[in-house]
A and B are shown apart, each in its own frame.
Chain A
Amino acid sequence: AQSVAQPEDQVNVAEGNPLTVKCTYSVSGNPYLFWYVQYPNRGLQFLLKYITGDNLVKGSYGFEAEFNKSQTSFHLKKPSALVSDSALYFCAVRDPNQGGKLIFGQGTELSVKP
């Protein structure tokens, strides 16, 4: 069965420091991987995706993610965190053999302090 794990419920980072939000997945075949951000009282905003190609994917707001097939991971990164990055982040996987539905991780709350 497909699954996504975000091992950290919360990540705390000082402004200006690099940040990493971890995600590991389990899916048969070649997964499509996504990161979304949810600000308070808002819907989900698409950040980036990996389908194929370069393992390092660049997305919105300076975020990037690295696909590692051997470790079945897709960690979200940003070189220099901003206070405005504070939000809830979701990793999700899509098995292209099972339509377009997404399986989500439980979410990671990112808190960036000045």
Chain B
Amino acid sequence: SAVISQKPSRDICQRGTSLTIQCQVDSQVTMMFWYRQQPGQSLTLIATANQGSEATYESGFVIDKFPISRPNLTFSTLTVSNMSPEDSSIYLCSVVTPGNTIYFGEGSWLTVV
């Protein structure tokens, strides 16, 4: 298994500001992902966090809005930039273990006011 820690767990943010979410894994993993879960919705993939290179973004998500860092095989950050109330969501970090199990962190619950 993999233990994934996300910080912050919750935050209330002012519109127009930016917030960086951290994801720390207790073991080295090749694949790491960031998902968004809007209120009452399912999960949508934002991007794949690539170690040592630029993240790969899904359609509808851009680097200027959601810059991602992946400095090593156990850590990644997602920044939500210039936030608006529409960005109020749960942001979840996910990893794939060598056994092909996919685990999620507890999520970072953001409210933009």
Contacts and interface: CB of A to CB of B under 8 A. Distances in A.
Contacts of A46: 101-104
Interface residues of B, number: 23
B102 A43 contact: no
Contact of B107 (A43, A92, A99, A104): A43
A90 interface: yes
Interface stretch (B63-71, B78-86, B92-100): B92-100
A100 interface: yes
Given A46-B102, A49-B100, A51-B100, A102 B42 contact: no
Interface residues of A, number: 23
Interface string A60-98: 000000000000000000000000000000101010100
Interface string A35-57: 01000011111100101000000
A102 B31 contact: no
Given A90-B43, A101-B45, A44 B101 contact: no
Given A99-B31, A104-B43, A32 B100 contact: yes
Interface of B: 6, 31, 33, 41-45, 48, 58, 90, 92, 94, 96, 100-107, 109
